[in-house]
A and B are shown apart, each in its own frame.
Chain A
Amino acid sequence: GDSVTQMEGPVTLSEEAFLTINCTYTATGYPSLFWYVQYPGEGLQLLLKATKADDKGSNKGFEATYRKETTSFHLEKGSVQVSDSAVYFCALFEGYNKLIFGAGTRLAVHP
C-alpha cells in the first residue's frame, strides 16, 4: 500500500534559521500531497497541499514542491520563528477517502 516517510525529529533550530523537513512517499499513481501541523495543545491543521506534479503549496512562509521524479514533498521555510514550534505531518491521499500520514516531525525553535 501507499506510505509516507518523513525525517525523524526532533529538529531543533534557532530563530531565523532555515528549515527543511524531508518527506518521501510511495504510491501508485499520483496522489495529492499535504503537510499538516499540530501546535501544542491544538488539533491538526492543514498547512499546505499540492495536487499534481511540480505544484508548489505555500502558506505562512512554508513551501513544499511536489516532485514526481524523486517522489518527495519536502517542507521548507526560510526563517523560522518560535511560534513555528509544532509537530509537522506529511501525508498523501490514497484512493478517494484516505489520508496516509507519516510519523510526524517535532520542530523546536529557540530564541
Chain B
Amino acid sequence: GAGVSQSPSNKVTEKGKDVELRCDPISGHTALYWYRQRLGQGLEFLIYFQGNSAPDKSGLPSDRFSAERTGESVSTLTIQRTQQEDSAVYLCASSAQTGQGNTIYFGEGSWLTVV
C-alpha cells in the first residue's frame, strides 16, 4: 500500500482483557518495527522484524506483550491481561532496508485506552 496501515485506530478495553493490534507495512519493506508512545513522552522501541530472521524483542516491557509477523507482510501485536499503564499509542513502522541512515516510515498508530 501507499503507507503503513494500522488497525484499529482507536481501542478502548477493560483491564484484564487481551487486545490485538494489526499493522500492514509498506509493500516490499522487509523491516517492521513496533513502538509505544505514552502521553507526552517519546517513543519506546518494542520489537523489530527483519525478513525471516529472529525478531529483536529486547524492548518488550513484559511477557504480556508479544508480536508476530507473517513473512514480510502483516504483523500483529498482542497484549494480554491489559493494565492501565498499557494505555498509549502503539506505532508500527517499516523500512526497505536496515542499518544506519535508513528511512523508517511510521503509521498513524493505534490509540489504546485501558479502563
Give the B-binding residues of A (Cβ under 8 A).
4, 31-32, 36, 42-46, 49, 51, 89, 91, 93, 96-104
Contacts and interface: CB of A to CB of B under 8 A. Distances in A.
Interface in B36-67: 40-43, 45, 48, 50, 56, 59
B4 to A, nearest CB: 8
Nearest to A30: B100
B25 interface: no
B103 A46 contact: yes
A52 B98 CA distance: 17
A89 B50 contact: no
Given A43-B108, A44-B91, A44-B106, A89 B100 contact: no
The 7 closest A-B pairs by CB, nearest first: A43-B108, A44-B106, A101-B42, A51-B101, A101-B43, A103-B42, A32-B101
B106 A43 contact: yes
Contacts of A44: 43, 91, 93, 106
A99 B100 contact: no
A93 B42 contact: no
B100 A31 contact: yes
Contact of B105 (A31, A46, A93, A101): A46
Contacts, number: 60
Contacts of B98: 96-97
8 contacts: A43-B107, A43-B109, A97-B33, A98-B48, A99-B43, A100-B45, A102-B42, A103-B40
A45 B101 contact: no
Contacts of A32: 100-102
Contact of B108 (A42, A46, A97, A102): A42
B101 A97 contact: no
A97 B56 contact: yes
A64 to B, nearest CB: 15
A43 to B, nearest CB: 4
Given A43-B107, A51-B101, A97 B48 contact: yes
B48 A89 contact: no
